[in-house]
Amino acid sequence: MPQLIAGNWKMHCLAAEAIALAKGVAAGAQGITADLVVCPTALHIAAVAQALQGSPVAVGGQDCHQSKQGAHTGDIAAPMLRDAGAAWVILGHSERRHNHGETDELVREKTLAAVAAGLTPIVCVGETADQRAGGQETDIVGWQLAGSLPKPFSGVVAYEPVWAIGTGKTATDEDVATMHAFIREELVRQFGDAGAIIRILYGGSVKAANAASLLAVPHVGGALVGGASLNAQEFLAIARAAQAG
Protein backbone atom coordinates (compact mmCIF):
# COMPACT_ATOMS: atom_id res chain seq x y z
CA MET A 1 0.00 0.00 0.00
CA PRO A 2 1.40 3.48 -0.80
CA GLN A 3 2.28 5.74 2.08
CA LEU A 4 -0.20 8.47 2.95
CA ILE A 5 0.91 12.08 3.36
CA ALA A 6 -1.80 14.17 5.01
CA GLY A 7 -1.58 17.92 5.60
CA ASN A 8 -3.37 19.35 8.62
CA TRP A 9 -3.89 23.03 7.87
CA LYS A 10 -5.47 23.60 11.32
CA MET A 11 -6.96 27.10 11.79
CA HIS A 12 -4.84 28.67 9.06
CA CYS A 13 -5.61 30.30 5.69
CA LEU A 14 -8.38 32.58 4.50
CA ALA A 15 -10.34 31.17 1.55
CA ALA A 16 -8.16 32.63 -1.20
CA GLU A 17 -5.01 31.41 0.56
CA ALA A 18 -6.46 27.91 0.99
CA ILE A 19 -7.38 27.72 -2.69
CA ALA A 20 -3.93 28.94 -3.75
CA LEU A 21 -2.25 26.42 -1.43
CA ALA A 22 -4.42 23.59 -2.77
CA LYS A 23 -3.63 24.56 -6.35
CA GLY A 24 0.08 24.67 -5.50
CA VAL A 25 -0.09 21.13 -4.11
CA ALA A 26 -2.11 19.88 -7.09
CA ALA A 27 0.33 21.46 -9.54
CA GLY A 28 3.20 19.37 -8.18
CA ALA A 29 1.33 16.18 -7.38
CA GLN A 30 1.67 14.36 -10.69
CA GLY A 31 4.13 11.48 -10.45
CA ILE A 32 4.02 11.31 -6.65
CA THR A 33 3.26 7.74 -5.64
CA ALA A 34 2.08 8.50 -2.10
CA ASP A 35 -1.60 9.11 -1.41
CA LEU A 36 -2.09 12.82 -0.72
CA VAL A 37 -4.71 14.50 1.46
CA VAL A 38 -5.08 18.10 2.59
CA CYS A 39 -7.29 19.04 5.53
CA PRO A 40 -8.39 22.68 5.51
CA THR A 41 -10.81 24.22 7.96
CA ALA A 42 -14.31 22.84 7.32
CA LEU A 43 -15.40 26.20 5.94
CA HIS A 44 -13.03 25.77 2.99
CA ILE A 45 -13.55 22.10 2.19
CA ALA A 46 -15.93 22.73 -0.70
CA ALA A 47 -13.74 25.40 -2.30
CA VAL A 48 -10.58 23.34 -1.83
CA ALA A 49 -12.28 20.22 -3.22
CA GLN A 50 -13.29 22.20 -6.27
CA ALA A 51 -9.76 23.57 -6.70
CA LEU A 52 -8.42 19.98 -6.53
CA GLN A 53 -10.85 18.49 -9.02
CA GLY A 54 -9.03 16.31 -11.53
CA SER A 55 -5.93 16.08 -9.32
CA PRO A 56 -4.90 13.06 -7.22
CA VAL A 57 -5.09 15.13 -4.02
CA ALA A 58 -8.01 14.36 -1.71
CA VAL A 59 -9.60 16.56 0.94
CA GLY A 60 -10.24 15.85 4.61
CA GLY A 61 -11.85 17.48 7.61
CA GLN A 62 -10.13 18.11 10.94
CA ASP A 63 -12.95 16.88 13.19
CA CYS A 64 -16.59 15.86 13.06
CA HIS A 65 -19.47 15.45 15.50
CA GLN A 66 -20.47 11.97 16.66
CA SER A 67 -24.12 12.46 15.62
CA LYS A 68 -25.16 12.55 12.02
CA GLN A 69 -27.41 15.57 12.61
CA GLY A 70 -29.17 17.38 15.43
CA ALA A 71 -29.24 20.32 17.80
CA HIS A 72 -25.49 20.84 18.21
CA THR A 73 -24.79 24.51 17.68
CA GLY A 74 -21.52 25.16 15.92
CA ASP A 75 -20.70 21.51 15.28
CA ILE A 76 -20.24 19.81 11.93
CA ALA A 77 -21.57 16.35 11.13
CA ALA A 78 -19.62 13.76 9.18
CA PRO A 79 -22.20 13.61 6.35
CA MET A 80 -21.78 17.39 5.97
CA LEU A 81 -18.03 16.96 5.48
CA ARG A 82 -18.69 14.24 2.93
CA ASP A 83 -21.28 16.38 1.17
CA ALA A 84 -18.79 19.26 0.95
CA GLY A 85 -16.24 17.04 -0.81
CA ALA A 86 -14.19 15.47 1.98
CA ALA A 87 -13.15 11.83 1.79
CA TRP A 88 -11.08 11.80 4.99
CA VAL A 89 -11.28 13.21 8.50
CA ILE A 90 -8.69 13.65 11.26
CA LEU A 91 -10.11 12.58 14.64
CA GLY A 92 -8.76 12.71 18.18
CA HIS A 93 -5.97 15.14 17.34
CA SER A 94 -4.17 16.07 20.58
CA GLU A 95 -5.30 19.69 20.14
CA ARG A 96 -8.92 18.46 20.20
CA ARG A 97 -8.22 16.10 23.10
CA HIS A 98 -6.59 18.92 25.11
CA ASN A 99 -8.50 22.04 24.00
CA HIS A 100 -11.93 20.38 23.90
CA GLY A 101 -11.58 17.59 26.46
CA GLU A 102 -12.15 14.84 23.89
CA THR A 103 -11.99 11.40 25.48
CA ASP A 104 -11.12 8.09 23.86
CA GLU A 105 -14.78 7.12 24.00
CA LEU A 106 -15.85 10.29 22.17
CA VAL A 107 -13.15 9.76 19.56
CA ARG A 108 -14.47 6.22 19.05
CA GLU A 109 -18.02 7.53 18.56
CA LYS A 110 -16.77 10.14 16.09
CA THR A 111 -14.85 7.44 14.24
CA LEU A 112 -18.01 5.36 13.88
CA ALA A 113 -19.89 8.43 12.61
CA ALA A 114 -17.14 9.19 10.11
CA VAL A 115 -17.09 5.66 8.70
CA ALA A 116 -20.90 5.59 8.50
CA ALA A 117 -20.73 8.77 6.41
CA GLY A 118 -18.21 7.24 4.00
CA LEU A 119 -15.17 9.09 5.35
CA THR A 120 -11.84 7.44 6.11
CA PRO A 121 -10.81 8.42 9.65
CA ILE A 122 -7.24 9.27 10.65
CA VAL A 123 -7.31 8.61 14.38
CA CYS A 124 -4.54 10.31 16.36
CA VAL A 125 -2.84 8.96 19.48
CA GLY A 126 0.26 10.08 21.33
CA GLU A 127 1.75 10.76 24.73
CA THR A 128 2.70 14.05 26.38
CA ALA A 129 6.23 14.98 27.40
CA ASP A 130 5.45 14.23 31.06
CA GLN A 131 4.00 10.84 30.22
CA ARG A 132 7.13 9.98 28.22
CA ALA A 133 9.37 11.26 31.00
CA GLY A 134 7.47 8.92 33.34
CA GLY A 135 8.06 5.96 31.03
CA GLN A 136 4.33 5.65 30.34
CA GLU A 137 4.32 6.27 26.59
CA THR A 138 3.38 2.78 25.48
CA ASP A 139 0.72 2.41 28.20
CA ILE A 140 -0.87 5.70 27.16
CA VAL A 141 -0.83 4.90 23.46
CA GLY A 142 -2.10 1.36 24.13
CA TRP A 143 -5.05 2.72 26.14
CA GLN A 144 -5.81 5.33 23.49
CA LEU A 145 -5.82 2.66 20.77
CA ALA A 146 -8.03 0.34 22.81
CA GLY A 147 -10.48 3.15 23.64
CA SER A 148 -10.55 5.19 20.43
CA LEU A 149 -10.78 2.56 17.69
CA PRO A 150 -14.11 0.83 17.05
CA LYS A 151 -14.18 -2.85 16.06
CA PRO A 152 -13.94 -3.41 13.17
CA PHE A 153 -11.80 -0.42 12.26
CA SER A 154 -11.36 0.77 8.71
CA GLY A 155 -9.08 3.76 8.77
CA VAL A 156 -5.63 5.03 9.55
CA VAL A 157 -3.85 5.59 12.87
CA ALA A 158 -1.51 8.55 13.39
CA TYR A 159 1.09 8.40 16.15
CA GLU A 160 1.72 11.98 17.16
CA PRO A 161 3.79 12.47 20.31
CA VAL A 162 2.30 15.66 21.75
CA TRP A 163 5.73 17.07 22.62
CA ALA A 164 6.74 16.91 18.95
CA ILE A 165 3.71 18.74 17.54
CA GLY A 166 4.49 22.26 16.37
CA THR A 167 7.62 22.35 18.54
CA GLY A 168 10.30 21.62 15.97
CA LYS A 169 11.26 18.62 18.15
CA THR A 170 11.01 15.39 16.21
CA ALA A 171 11.00 11.96 17.74
CA THR A 172 14.18 10.10 16.88
CA ASP A 173 13.96 7.35 14.28
CA GLU A 174 14.55 4.89 17.15
CA ASP A 175 11.64 6.31 19.20
CA VAL A 176 9.42 6.11 16.14
CA ALA A 177 10.55 2.56 15.35
CA THR A 178 9.82 1.40 18.91
CA MET A 179 6.40 3.03 19.08
CA HIS A 180 5.30 2.00 15.60
CA ALA A 181 6.30 -1.62 16.28
CA PHE A 182 4.27 -1.44 19.51
CA ILE A 183 1.27 0.06 17.71
CA ARG A 184 1.47 -2.62 15.00
CA GLU A 185 1.47 -5.33 17.69
CA GLU A 186 -1.52 -3.73 19.39
CA LEU A 187 -3.43 -3.42 16.11
CA VAL A 188 -2.80 -7.08 15.30
CA ARG A 189 -3.83 -8.03 18.83
CA GLN A 190 -7.06 -6.01 18.51
CA PHE A 191 -7.95 -6.68 14.87
CA GLY A 192 -6.06 -9.81 13.81
CA ASP A 193 -4.95 -9.91 10.16
CA ALA A 194 -6.74 -6.62 9.42
CA GLY A 195 -4.48 -4.95 11.98
CA ALA A 196 -1.41 -5.91 10.00
CA ILE A 197 -2.31 -3.62 7.11
CA ILE A 198 -3.69 -0.55 8.89
CA ARG A 199 -1.49 2.40 7.91
CA ILE A 200 0.26 4.01 10.89
CA LEU A 201 1.33 7.60 10.20
CA TYR A 202 3.95 9.49 12.14
CA GLY A 203 3.25 13.14 12.97
CA GLY A 204 5.27 15.74 14.83
CA SER A 205 7.45 18.38 13.17
CA VAL A 206 7.85 16.40 9.94
CA LYS A 207 9.54 18.52 7.27
CA ALA A 208 11.35 17.94 4.00
CA ALA A 209 14.70 17.68 5.80
CA ASN A 210 13.67 14.78 8.08
CA ALA A 211 10.95 13.09 6.02
CA ALA A 212 13.05 10.52 4.17
CA SER A 213 14.50 8.92 7.30
CA LEU A 214 11.22 9.00 9.25
CA LEU A 215 9.27 7.53 6.34
CA ALA A 216 11.78 4.70 6.00
CA VAL A 217 11.23 3.49 9.58
CA PRO A 218 9.49 0.07 9.67
CA HIS A 219 5.70 0.26 10.16
CA VAL A 220 5.60 3.97 9.24
CA GLY A 221 2.83 4.18 6.66
CA GLY A 222 3.09 7.90 5.99
CA ALA A 223 3.06 11.25 7.75
CA LEU A 224 0.56 13.67 9.26
CA VAL A 225 2.08 17.08 8.65
CA GLY A 226 1.06 20.32 10.36
CA GLY A 227 3.21 23.43 9.90
CA ALA A 228 5.13 22.17 6.88
CA SER A 229 1.90 21.45 4.99
CA LEU A 230 1.20 25.20 4.76
CA ASN A 231 3.90 25.50 2.13
CA ALA A 232 3.08 23.59 -1.06
CA GLN A 233 6.72 23.01 -2.06
CA GLU A 234 7.68 21.74 1.42
CA PHE A 235 4.63 19.45 1.53
CA LEU A 236 5.41 18.10 -1.93
CA ALA A 237 9.03 17.49 -0.96
CA ILE A 238 7.81 15.40 2.01
CA ALA A 239 5.49 13.50 -0.33
CA ARG A 240 8.34 12.82 -2.75
CA ALA A 241 10.29 11.27 0.14
CA ALA A 242 7.45 8.80 0.75
CA GLN A 243 7.65 5.17 -0.19
CA ALA A 244 5.59 3.84 -3.08
CA GLY A 245 4.67 0.69 -1.14
**Least CB distance to ligand PEP at residue 37 (A):** 12
Pairing of the two strands 120-125 and 156-159: parallel
Paired with 58 in beta bridges are 37
- Is 204 a binder of ligand PEP (CB under 6 A)? yes
Contact pattern from residue 22 through residue 61 relative to ligand PEP, giving x for each residue in contact according to CB under 6 A and a dash for the rest: ----------------------------------------
Q: How far is CA 48 from the centre of its chain?
A: 18
Verify whether residue 93 is a known catalytic residue.
yes
Q: From the list 42, 78, 214, 225, which residue makes contact with ligand PEP (rule: CB under 6 A)?
A: 225
Contact pattern from residue 136 through residue 165 relative to ligand PEP, giving x for each residue in contact according to CB under 6 A and a dash for the rest: ------------------------x----x
- Is 224 a binder of ligand PEP (CB under 6 A)? yes
Question: Of the two residues 193 and 236, which places its CB atom closer to ligand PEP in the complex?
Answer: 236
Q: Which of 95, 102, 160, 234 is flagged as catalytic?
A: 160
Paired with 36 in beta bridges are 5, 57
**Least CB distance to ligand PEP at residue 235 (A):** 10
- Is 226 a binder of ligand PEP (CB under 6 A)? yes
List Cα–Cα distances, 67 to 87, 90, 93, 221, in angstroms: 18, 16, 18, 30
Contact 72, 51 (CB under 8 A): no
**Which residue number has the CB closest to ligand PEP?**
226
Q: How far apart are CA 144 and CA 139, in angstroms?
A: 9
Q: How far apart are CA 132 and CA 138, in angstroms?
A: 9
What angle, rounded to 10 degrees, do the helices at 137-148 and 104-116 form? Answer: 40
Verify whether residue 17 is a known catalytic residue.
no
Catalytic center residues: 93, 160
